[in-house]
Chains A and B, each alone.
Chain A
Amino acid sequence: MNHIPMRMNAPAIRPQKMTRRAMAKQQTREKVLQAARDLFIERGYEGATIRDIARAAGMSTGAVFASFADKNELFDAILNDDFAALLEPMQDAVVGAATAREALVGMFGAAYRAHAHQLPLILAALAASWTRTPEAERLRRESMRPIRALIMEILERGVERGELAPRFDLRLISEMVWDLFLAGYRPAAFDGASVENQTDKLADRIDVVLTAVKA
């Protein structure tokens, strides 16, 4: 397994050479994504229409539809980018952590911090995640894969260090920890919990799970 620093090099997304036309298309796409992101953060998913997004991006609704089939697809693209961008701060938070607990709390705390200013977007994402098409779900899982891998690495290292007992199902634990992390967004959005408060609560819940598997 990898040791510090835990970093995975993202494959280059942009191809080497682009025709002028492909470049224009890419630019349109990015403009739409940025406008949509701003509007979703401001108004939530339901509150932003394709028409609003097109206007904010300074183009016609037809031009938006040339890049994205519908609002759902646009939304998914933003979220997948978002989680991809989270990986780096999460990895940074893990570097130097002395225990599995510290690493997990660090990486999730970094995510809560990064998302604190865009809670409406995250809430809309969580709402949408319950009624996904199989294809959208597959893409979403794909974009989360490096983050899930990071959790597994942390747990495996905990076992190597003799901190966690080797006889437990690490995948089950990693799924539980991930779900507890996601469950922590609702209090932030509805009860106005601060990032610190949100992170402390999660740390307590992670303790409940890790206590069970302590070596």
Chain B
Amino acid sequence: MGVRETQKLETRRRVLEAARDLFNEIGYEETTIRAVAERAGVSVGSVFTTFASKADILSQVMDDRVEALYSELEHVARHMRGSVLDRLCSLFSIHYDFECRRVRLFLAHIAASFSPSLEATTIPYGRNQRFRGMIIDMLHEGQVKGEVRADADLDLILDTLMGAYAWNYRLAATGSADHVVMTGIMERQITLIFHGLMPR
């Protein structure tokens, strides 16, 4: 790798780290590119040669974050024990725990996903294919093991679960719940949905 390439990657890393912290500390709307550049110790110009916009930075911050999580999770998920219902609960619990560590950052990500000026590269929360893939795999296994009805529409179940998962974050937005409370509610929701999925 040439010196220039190395420098570019280093700028990228520093900008993403500075932005991640600022978005979480003072909020996304309140964070300016200038402030990000200052904290990262780079010029405003070099931020713009690396990123298209503040929304682009947010999207890449989030992307880097979940990629690291999923590399670990996909490994762990294979070794989880217990019923499919229990493992699904664990999977969502891990997510709530992870996202609530920087909850303001995550809420900004959710809010941005409703913006009409969404970048083509942005993956709104709940649409990550690796996350969805892990859930579908578990549901499929549930069918194989007879925990889930064979004729259940798994994509529909997935969408319903993701809807519940995502909107439970509104409790975090109002400051009325932490990840433990959200996990508890999600467990009740999954249990309810599974009640209708049992083979008859």
Binary per-residue interface labels of chain B (157-170) against chain A in the complex, 1 for a CB within 8 Å, 0 otherwise: 10110011011111
CB of A208 within 8 A of CB of B160, answer: yes
Question: Within the assembled complex, what's the spacing in Å between the Cα atoms of A205 and B159?
Answer: 8
CB of B107 within 8 A of CB of A131, answer: yes
> What interface size band does chain B fall in?
35 or more
Closest-by-CB residue of A relative to B149 is A211
CB of B159 within 8 A of CB of A132, answer: no
Residues of A within 8 A of B153 (CB): 204
B5-13, B57-65, B78-86, B108-116: which lies at the A interface?
B108-116
CB of A212 within 8 A of CB of B196, answer: yes
Question: Within the assembled complex, what's the spacing in Å between the Cα atoms of A137 and B156?
Answer: 31
Minimum Cβ distance to chain A for residue B174 (Å)? 5
CB of B175 within 8 A of CB of A176, answer: no
Chain A residues 45 to 78 lying within 8 A of chain B, measured CB to CB, are 46
Question: Within the assembled complex, what's the spacing in Å between the Cα atoms of A39 and B169?
Answer: 30
Chain B residues 29 to 47 lying within 8 A of chain A, measured CB to CB, are 29
Chain A residues 120 to 162 lying within 8 A of chain B, measured CB to CB, are 120, 123-124, 126-132, 134, 137
From known contacts A123-B114, A180-B163, A205-B159, infer whether A130 and B173 are also in contact, taking CB-CB under 8 Å: yes
From known contacts A127-B111, A172-B188, infer whether A183 and B163 are also in contact, taking CB-CB under 8 Å: yes
**B192 at interface, CB cutoff 8 A:** yes
CB of A183 within 8 A of CB of B166, answer: yes
> What interface size band does chain A fall in?
35 or more
Of the candidates B163, B194, B195, B197, the one whose C-beta lies within 8 Å of that of A205 is B163
Question: Within the assembled complex, what's the spacing in Å between the Cα atoms of A34 and B132?
Answer: 42
Q: A interface vs B, CB < 8 Å?
A: 44, 46, 120, 123-124, 126-132, 134, 137, 168-169, 172-173, 176, 179-180, 182-183, 186, 189-190, 204-205, 208-214
Chain B residues 10 to 32 lying within 8 A of chain A, measured CB to CB, are 27, 29
Minimum Cβ distance to chain A for residue B116 (Å)? 6
**B189 at interface, CB cutoff 8 A:** yes
**B177 at interface, CB cutoff 8 A:** no
**B69 at interface, CB cutoff 8 A:** no
From known contacts A176-B189, A179-B163, infer whether A132 and B118 are also in contact, taking CB-CB under 8 Å: no
From known contacts A130-B173, A205-B160, infer whether A212 and B107 are also in contact, taking CB-CB under 8 Å: no
Closest-by-CB residue of A relative to B155 is A204
Residues of A within 8 A of B108 (CB): 130-131
CB of A205 within 8 A of CB of B115, answer: no
Residues of B within 8 A of A127 (CB): 111-112, 114-115
Q: Which 3 A-B pairs have the closest CB atoms?
A: A212-B196, A179-B167, A211-B196
